[in-house]
Structure 1
Amino acid sequence: MYDAVLLPTDGSAGSELAADHAIDLAERHDAALHALYVLETSHAIDQLEDFEETSIFDRLEDAGTQAVEEIEARAADADITVVESSVERGVAHEEIVDYVAAEDIDVVVMATAGRTGTSRELIGSVTETVVRASPVPVLAVKTDE
């Protein structure tokens, strides 16, 4: 049923919980597991000519690389033979939906955010936006974060 499972991660405890579900799903279906970390970039930052992004984005990219490497290691421990990982820059929900299309993903597994109240109503969570925009099923893993 599933040949490719996508796990967007931000390295948080919630993402680790979602990883448990994604790894289990990939294992049960003998599917490839894709781990994706998106460096959230702002359009405002992109427009600043003098913005020194190198050191900030290098650190964030290092954190992203570490997050996907941890997923790769956990998947290897579960005997998942095909693991792909990527660190991208952009708007998280857009990059996730684009990745789904580009990599022929069958299902997305991601954590819900802890955002509540007015902030959630005005902005919406990445997971909620992906659920609405994704052409494939999205398993939203509830977290206590």
Structure 2
Amino acid sequence: MYTDILVPTDGSESSAAAVEHGIEIASPHAATVHFLHAVDVGTEMSASGLGNIAPDLTETLESEAEDALDDAVARAEESDVAYERTVLEGVPHEVIAEYSTENEIDLIVMGASGRSGLADHLLGSSTDRVVRSVETSVLIARPS
């Protein structure tokens, strides 16, 4: 039923729950889990793709992305689940939707909330936006 499962992760408690769910679903199906971190560099992208933020901040965000992915990958390896890891720049819900389409994802597993805090409550979370913008099934995971 599932061949490719996308788990966007930001290192939050909710995304850690999504990682666990994604791995649990992938294991009996011999599916590949695609761990994705979208580095939100702002709405104005420069021609270089680095956005309109300072290089030090970009480096910090990319380091946080790698840390979140390292944790997810370690869990997949412990469970002997095939995985891919990707860091992309852009607006998270747009990056997730595009990745899902381009990689023919069968299921997206996302945390109920992430690290963006108050902005999520005012604007709607990335999870809400993904659910509304993709044709792929989405499982929303909550921490225990």
TM-score, reference length from structure 2: 0.86
For the 8 Å contact 2:8–2:37, the answer to whether it is kept is yes
For the 8 Å contact 2:7–2:33, the answer to whether it is kept is yes
Aligned pairs (5 A) from 1:1-145: 1-43=1-43, 53-80=54-81, 82-113=82-113, 120=121, 122-143=122-143
Q: Which runs of 5+ in 2 are unaligned?
A: 47-51
**Once the 2 structures are TM-superposed, how far is the Cα of residue 43 of structure 1 from its aligned partner?**
2.1
Query: For the aligned residues, what is the CA RMSD?
Result: 2.4
**Once the 2 structures are TM-superposed, how far is the Cα of residue 62 of structure 1 from its aligned partner?**
0.9
Deviations 1:88-109 (A, max 9, x none): 1100000000000111110000
The letter for the 2-side match of 1:125 is S
The letter for the 2-side match of 1:62 is S
Alignment match, 2:49? none
* Change beyond 3 A, Cα 1:119–1:56: closer
The letter for the 2-side match of 1:137 is S
For the 8 Å contact 2:106–2:137, the answer to whether it is kept is yes
**Once the 2 structures are TM-superposed, how far is the Cα of residue 119 of structure 1 from its aligned partner?**
5.9
The letter for the 2-side match of 1:79 is D
**Once the 2 structures are TM-superposed, how far is the Cα of residue 53 of structure 1 from its aligned partner?**
1.8
TM-score, reference length from structure 1: 0.86
Which segments of structure 1 move beyond 3 Å, counting only runs of 4 or more?
114-119
Q: Distance in 2 between matches of 1:116 and 1:42?
A: 16
Structure number with larger C-alpha Rg: 1
Q: Of Structure 1 and Structure 2, which has the larger fraction of its residues in helix?
A: 1
- 3-12 vs 62-71, which moves further: 62-71
- Equivalent pairs, count: 139
Deviations 1:7-37 (A, max 9, x none): 0000111111111101101112110010000
The letter for the 2-side match of 1:103 is N
The letter for the 1-side match of 2:106 is D
Q: Distance in 1 between matches of 2:14 and 2:78?
A: 20
